[in-house]
Amino acid sequence: MKQDRKHFKPKQTETILDSISDGVFTVDMDWLITSFNKAAETITGIEREEAIGHQCCDVFKANICENECALRQTLKTGVPIINKAIYIVNADGDRIPISISTGLLKDEDDQLIGGVETFRDLSLVEELKKEIEGRYRFADILSQNPHMQKMFEILPEVALSDAPVLIEGETGTGKELFANAIHNLSNRKSFPFIAVNCGALPETLLESELFGYKAGAFTDAKKDKKGRFALASKGTLFLDEVGDISSALQVKLLRVLQEKMYEPLGSTKQEKADVRIITAANQDLEQLIHEGKFRQDFFYRINVITLQLPPLRARKEDIPILIEHFISHFNSLQNKNILGVSESALALLMAHNYPGNVRELENIIERAFVMCHGDLIRTKNLPESIKSLQPYMHNAKEKALTLKELEKIHILEALEHNMWNRLATARELGINKSTLFRKIKFLKIKLPRHDGRSSSVR
C-alpha cells in the first residue's frame, strides 16, 4: 500500500524558505509575486509586504527584465536556467551582481501555476575578484609575472626622477600604458601627457608636429602652430617608435634633450622645452646603431633608464586575468553578461603565441563578444587562427585540457624559453627551484641532456 505523500503547510514552507541564504520568489501566471523569502528582502532591500501582489519586473529590477527575462524563457520552454549571472538594482539604487536559477511551479495535479526564481548575491565574489586583480594591477597595467612585478616596484622611483626613460618591447606590449603610469605618478601629473607615434609620420611632417612652426615657414603655413613640445609644456612627451626617426631629426632632438631649448620651424627665437621625455621602441636600437641607422649619442641620451617589457608569450600566466579584465570591460561597453570563457576556449587561448601581444588578445576577446550569444565564450567564437591550434586539445570537441596538462604546457614553454636552464625557468615562473623540480617530476617532463647553463652532459 502506498503511503500518502507528506505536504508542508504554507507556514512551514515559509519557515524553510526563510532559513536559506539564497533569495527565492514565486510568481503566478499573471507575473504577480506570490512569495518572497527573507534572503530576497535582504538582497533587494524590499520588504515582503511591498513585493507580494506586485508585478515581478516592478520589484525585481534586473538588467534582463525587458528583453531577456529568464523566468519568462523557462515558462515558455519548460527548460530551467541555472546560475545565470545578471545585475539587479536594489531599493537604494545600487547595482548588485547576482546569479539566478529558474524553474516551473506546479500544483498537486502537475498543472503549471507559475514560476520560481532563486538568486544568490555575488557581491562578495566580485569584491574578491577585485582584490585579486588589485594585487596584480599597477595603474592600468595587469600582470602577475615576476619580471613585470619588479618593474611595478621601481616605477614610483622612476616617475619621481626627470631622467629620460626608454621603454623597449614588441608592438602591443603596453609601452604607452607604462609611459602614462610614469607620468601619472610624477610631479608633472597635473600637466599634459602628449603621445606621438613617430613611425606614423614622414620626417618633414614629424618635425613640424614636434617643434611647431611660424606663419610663412612654408607654403601652407598660414598661421602659427604650436608643436607637441609646446603642448606638453611642464608635462610629459612620449615619443613612440623612436627607432623610425631619421638621423637628421635625431640630431635636433638630441640638442633639445641637452639644452632644453628648441626652435619652431621658421623662427629665429629659441623656446624653452620644459618637458619630461619618454621614448619607446619595438626595434633593437643597439642593432640599428651597429647598422648605422641610429645615432649612438642620441641612444645614450634617451637610454638613461630602460624598461624592457616582455611579450605576452613570455608571461602566459597573465592570460587568464587579462581575459577576465577584457570580459568585464566589454560587458560594460556592450551591455552583455558573459561570465567568462569555456575551459576548452581557455586552453586554446593559452596555447596561442600572440605575435600582437596584449592588444591581439584584447581584439580576440572583442571579436568573441560579437560572435557569442550565450553566457560563455566558447571555441566556436574564437577566430580561425586560434581554432587551428586544436591539436593541443584531446579532440576537436568542446573538451578542455586538464589543469595538469595546461601547467605542463606552460612549464615546457618556460623551460624552452630559458634554454632548459631550470634556475632561470624557476625565476621566470616565480617559484622556488625545488618546487620546479617537483613539478617536472610530477608532470613527467623529459629534460634534454644539455641545458642553457653549459654544453656539458648532465
- pLDDT: is 283 or 97 the higher one? 283
Domain residue ranges in the chain: 14-121, 146-310, 317-396, 402-458
CATH of 146-310 given 3.40.50.720, 1.20.120.140, 3.40.50.300, 3.30.460.80: 3.40.50.300
**Do the domains spanning 146-310 and 402-458 agree at the CATH topology level?**
no
pLDDT at 217: 59
pLDDT at 134: 52
pLDDT over 70 at 358, yes or no: yes
pLDDT at 202: 87
**Range in 34-48, 117-131, 406-420 the model is least confident about:** 117-131
pLDDT at 297: 95
129 pLDDT tier (thresholds 50, 70, 90)? low
What does the mean pLDDT of the chain come to?
A: 83
pLDDT at 181: 92
Asked whether 193 and 232 are in contact (CB, 8 A), the reply is yes
Residue showing cell 600637466: 191
Render 198-222 in DSSP notation, one character per residue. GGGS-HHHHHHHHH-B-TTSSTT--
Mean local confidence (pLDDT), 306-331? 90
pLDDT over 60 at 454, yes or no: no
Strand partners, 279: 166, 239
pLDDT at 276: 96
pLDDT at 187: 92
> For the domain 14-121, what is the CATH code?
3.30.450.20
pLDDT at 171: 92
Strand partners, 278: 165, 238
- pLDDT: is 217 or 262 the higher one? 262
- pLDDT: is 131 or 75 the higher one? 75
| Percentage of the residues of the chain whose pLDDT score is greater than 70 | 86
CATH class of 317-396: mainly alpha
Asked whether 250 and 294 are in contact (CB, 8 A), the reply is yes
Give the architecture-level CATH label for domain 402-458: Orthogonal Bundle (1.10)
Residues 435, 443: Cα–Cα separation, whole Å: 12
Residues 378, 398: Cα–Cα separation, whole Å: 8
Residues 400, 19: Cα–Cα separation, whole Å: 38
Backbone dihedral region for residue 139 (phi beyond 0: left; psi -120 to 50: alpha; all else: beta): left
